[in-house]
Structure 1
Amino acid sequence: MSMIPVVIVGAGPTGLTAATLLAQYGVECLILERWESIYPQPRAVALDDEVHRILARLGLRDEFAAISRPHQGLRLLDRDMRVLAEFRRDTAPGPHGYPQGSMFDQPELETILRRNLKQHGTVTFRGNAEVTALTQDASGVRVDVTDTATGEQESIRAAYVLGCDGANSLSRASIGAAMQGLGFTQRWLVIDVVTEADLGQWEGVHQLADPARAGTYMRVGKTRYRWEFQLTPGETADDYRDMARLHPLISRWTGDIPVAELEIIRVAEYTFRAQLADRWRDRRVFLLGDAAHLTPPFIGQGMCAGLRDAMNLAWKLAGVLDGALAESVLDTYEIERKHHARAMIKLAKFIGTAMTAGGEFGNVIRRAVAPRLHLVPGLTDLATDSRTPPLHHSDLVVRPRLRRGLAGRLCPNAIVDGHRRFDDLAAGRFAIVTSIEPSAAQRADIERRGAVLIVAHPGSELHRWLRTGAARAAVVRPDGTVLHASRRLLPQTIDAVRRGGG
């Protein structure tokens, strides 16, 4: 039985992203997906500019721009639709080269992700392929697969398996991992509507802080709209399957638009949970996406977290497979991503609780406090800034003990030479960003290590960025994360990574 370097279980956005990134490094991989076609119903609808940057890395810059629309930020509304607080985001490109927030339709995103895979000859996609068991030994993983159309069974050998198989993950069960609750469970109604009519609403996310029924509204596309409402005890999605019963919930936004012009695409019940797997890896099997973490949707980071997982792991796994990196670098995946995912889940919990907790008393507090939130120093920046926390210290994130620094943060995707951005030049390799003019010998040394040298000239965006971290040079990993920043050129740090320690 021949060995496939990587088998990916699940062809959602996380699995497709991981496969594409691995393919860019020339890694052969097989995607096994239980269903043949894309799930047609919309689920995820938002992503930030950090994740937009990942899509561009996949080669989908123009395609995603064509199916998405920037959103303008967040409004907190009371039950009478009065604006309690507003946090606006600039829809112009930010430090990563893209709008800080974008809305999209997930089936459209999965369509372009699948189509993009076809240009990579190292990726094989198999639908109607249900993985029924994963069994590890010293040299690989046996993947048992059943063809759901014919019932035929077979076994495949893989060097590594990426479990991108969602909340009910067989991959997670196979490694004996369990989800740990983080203290948040709520039942919500999710509604998607299509209409050619213009609702005339502010083009950002509306958070309805109504103690009787909290809700969320956002425009997803040219004709697509999304509402989410907290369900009361005893209610189910079946209570709102037709527009006659649904309309009273959404009429605050639809106004006088005739019911006949509103088409229901989906009405579903979701239980919003905050959960984290107790471990994300057992030897050759890794968990990514919803298999590893579940977050309430209040800050739009559910799908984003899965794509961040793929971006973090793919370059490390590719390096191990081709012998460029020591296998010990794979230990950094869970260390870095688990801490980050936990921080984002906690933030989502905070927003959800602030919007829904306290009943009428909580409503009184929100009405008193929310209009004054803009007076709190730094709070507006915190609410509108799309930057996420730095990665946790690891062998691949060398952070100073006494100050925050740049390590663990993303290097800005700045314009470097008039038109090309950092990502275009780095192209998935190590990079040295420096405000020090290197000598010819230093340039040759950096080139010998296979790294890209980017000089940050005075007045440039990258020069200003280095100064914010009191640094003159930064070693940037292939995923755009700063490995180490210093006042000296330290290209030898890359050698330390390849030996297995930062």
Structure 2
Amino acid sequence: MTAQHVPVVIVGAGPVGVTAALLLARRGVRSVLLERHQDVYPLPRAVATDDEVCRILQAAGVHEEFTAIARPARGLRLLDSRHRTMAEFSRTEQGLHGFPQTSMFDQPGLERVLRDALARTPQCDLRGGAEVTGVEQDGTGPVRVTYRDEDGEHLLRADAVLGCDGANSLTREAVGATWEDLRFEERWTVIDVRTSLPVRCWEGVDQVCDPQRPATFMRIGDDRYRWEFRLPDGAELDRARLRELLAPWVVLAHDADFEVVRQAAYTFRARIADRWRAGRIFLLGDAAHLTPPFIGQGLCAGMRDAYNLSWKLARVLQQGADERLLDTYESERKPHARHVIRMAVAMGWAMTGGQDGAAAVRRGLLGAAVRIPGLTTAVSRDLSPALTAGPLVPRRPGGAGRGLVGRFCPQPWVAGPGGRTRFDDLLGDSFAVLTVVPLPPTVQAVAAALGARTVTVSDFGDGGLLAAWMRAKRADAVLLRPDRVVLDVVPRGGGDFAARAAWGSLLHTTRIPSPSQPAAAESLLRSIAR
């Protein structure tokens, strides 16, 4: 076989794989996506996402198309066995990231939006009907990827491989990773329905906390609904059984307009891979972690993986940044993935809770806990906690930047050259420095070395939101990473990015891609790297 060299091979062209390809393409990195199916999988799977992932779709250039097919949801309710509300976790239509905090959608629709964008992107080459047969890496050389299609066997040599190939990942075997079991495994039946019948719903997600018949219900679209039940036998449901199960929500007559789009039994598991990287082979999405669906974070976690890794990989491949930068992918994403999985398991526990006497006590404690003022808001915020401290999430002496470093910058609507625009669209795809005061020369030099855009936010057409956000945390300036996480701050009263010695050595580049990073400014990071 004649080997073709490509910068990045992505195994699996689901939402995570295609999003990773689009994000890399925005930074000039070409990729080949290998997908065993010829077209988008036609049946619904993931149905919920959050505002952080909508922001990622914005970075990939498809947020407007996604918004057109998505439906904002009001949040999550916990119901008891008689469908009385025990707790409500409300979600707003404008979250920190500038989008509805929860959106419902049909996964085939999202995949079509992403595939259409991929077709318009010359840096991305999607090869359908391609079954990957091997992923091998020998020392520090390129990764060998073999695949089979209708034309025979093929070989690719890649500078990096992203394994977005799901729970049964072949790439995970190449990494040598094994599953860590986080102790949750249940068999559930998922029913997707299309109907014009009146359905009793509240435009959010209902979790029925009944140990004998736990269930989940949500409205996905104008005439689309999903029910999930944990059933003892897991058998195929006939019309009579469906009528019984769905009675609390809809009256299902014999001749009613009621189409079962899909009925499938799934085993919900909680697992995380013990390692996410081997050399230049990386695991993303379900290849790296499996999350029960009870808080709607399964797909979201994979999209966060793509966002976190793509800019770092591009900086290494395109600009010669330190290879150690790629180590921060797992160190930043793995703790968050574990945290989300545990939250999902806790929700599953609240729904099922056992059938012994202590279960009633536990459910009573849950009902009391959720009435504590501010708790439901805190739980919603906890889906996106600050990144764990590390090379790109420094902790400054004296607590400067506390509450900012490692967290996302808000995204308001702002006044741009062509009118009102979303903040990230104004910033572009690289680093950015936000300031409320004139910057000292050293900070200006760091910004230039990183190719960062400097923006004064004091008069920005956002109602003062960004300036207030910075002043509340006693910051004169903040440095944003390309994924819009705060990397460092200049504390109130002036100074410099005091932690730059920690992250400068990783971000220092050996190649200057454009005049926006002149050699004189780049020498500043080079000196830090020494």
8 Å CA contact 1:94–1:100 kept in 2: the answer is yes
2:507 corresponds to which letter in structure 1?
R
Partner of 1:310: 306
8 Å CA contact 2:353–2:363 kept in 1: the answer is no
One of 39, 45, 48 as aligned partner of 2:50: 48
8 Å CA contact 1:405–1:470 kept in 2: the answer is no
Q: How many residues align?
A: 495
Deviation at 1:449, TM superposition (A): 3.8
The within-5 A match list for 1:108-257 is: 108-137=109-138, 138-147=140-149, 149=150, 152-232=152-232, 235-236=233-234, 238-240=235-237, 242-255=238-251
2:474 corresponds to which letter in structure 1?
A
User: 2:11 and 2:412 mapped to 1: Cα distance?
Assistant: 35
Deviation at 1:464, TM superposition (A): 2.0
Cα distance change, pair 127–74 in 1 and its aligned pair in 2 (3 A): same
1:422 corresponds to which letter in structure 2?
F
One of 325, 328, 336 as aligned partner of 1:340: 336
| Stretch moving more, 208-217 or 461-470 | 461-470
Deviation at 1:88, TM superposition (A): 2.0
Cα distance change, pair 401–343 in 1 and its aligned pair in 2 (3 A): farther
Matched position secondary structure for 1:338: helix
For residues 343-396 of structure 1, give each alpha carbon's deviation from its aligned partner in whole angstroms, at most 9, with x where no partner exists.
111111111111211326366336644554453132121234375111112211
The within-5 A match list for 1:413-452 is: 413-417=411-415, 419-438=420-439, 443=444, 446-447=447-448, 449-452=450-453
Cα distance change, pair 457–283 in 1 and its aligned pair in 2 (3 A): same
Deviation at 1:416, TM superposition (A): 3.6
1:225 corresponds to which letter in structure 2?
Y
Say if 2:349 is the partner of 1:353. Answer: yes
1:290 corresponds to which letter in structure 2?
D
RMSD: 2.3
User: 2:204 and 2:305 mapped to 1: Cα distance?
Assistant: 27
8 Å CA contact 2:273–2:288 kept in 1: the answer is yes
Partner of 1:20: 22
Cα distance change, pair 146–395 in 1 and its aligned pair in 2 (3 A): same
Cα distance change, pair 278–439 in 1 and its aligned pair in 2 (3 A): closer
One of 84, 88, 92 as aligned partner of 1:86: 88
User: 1:305 and 1:384 mapped to 2: Cα distance?
Assistant: 15
Partner of 1:465: 469
Deviation at 1:284, TM superposition (A): 1.1
| Stretch moving more, 390-399 or 164-173 | 390-399
Structure 1, unaligned stretches of length 5 or more?
Answer: none
Partner of 2:105: 104
For residues 402-461 of structure 1, give each alpha carbon's deviation from its aligned partner in whole angstroms, at most 9, with x where no partner exists.
754311111111234362332112211101112223368865763454101122318621
8 Å CA contact 1:30–1:125 kept in 2: the answer is yes
Deviation at 1:47, TM superposition (A): 0.6
8 Å CA contact 1:50–1:387 kept in 2: the answer is no
TM-score, scaled to structure 1: 0.93
Cα distance change, pair 185–287 in 1 and its aligned pair in 2 (3 A): same
Say if 2:263 is the partner of 1:261. Answer: no
Matched position secondary structure for 1:193: strand
Partner of 2:273: 277
Matched position secondary structure for 2:421: coil
8 Å CA contact 2:489–2:497 kept in 1: the answer is no
8 Å CA contact 1:319–1:325 kept in 2: the answer is yes
Partner of 2:507: 498
Matched position secondary structure for 1:420: strand
User: 1:367 and 1:339 mapped to 2: Cα distance?
Assistant: 28
8 Å CA contact 1:290–1:306 kept in 2: the answer is yes
User: 1:16 and 1:437 mapped to 2: Cα distance?
Assistant: 40
8 Å CA contact 2:243–2:251 kept in 1: the answer is no
| Stretch moving more, 246-255 or 118-127 | 246-255
Identity among equivalent pairs (%): 48
8 Å CA contact 1:434–1:489 kept in 2: the answer is no
Deviation at 1:259, TM superposition (A): 5.5
User: 1:172 and 1:442 mapped to 2: Cα distance?
Assistant: 42
One of 381, 385, 403 as aligned partner of 2:381: 385
One of 288, 302, 316 as aligned partner of 1:320: 316
User: 1:276 and 1:394 mapped to 2: Cα distance?
Assistant: 21
For residues 69-111 of structure 1, give each alpha carbon's deviation from its aligned partner in whole angstroms, at most 9, with x where no partner exists.
0100111112222222222222x22221100000000011001
TM-score, scaled to structure 2: 0.88
Partner of 2:522: none
Structure 2, unaligned stretches of length 5 or more?
Answer: 510-527
Cα distance change, pair 95–244 in 1 and its aligned pair in 2 (3 A): same
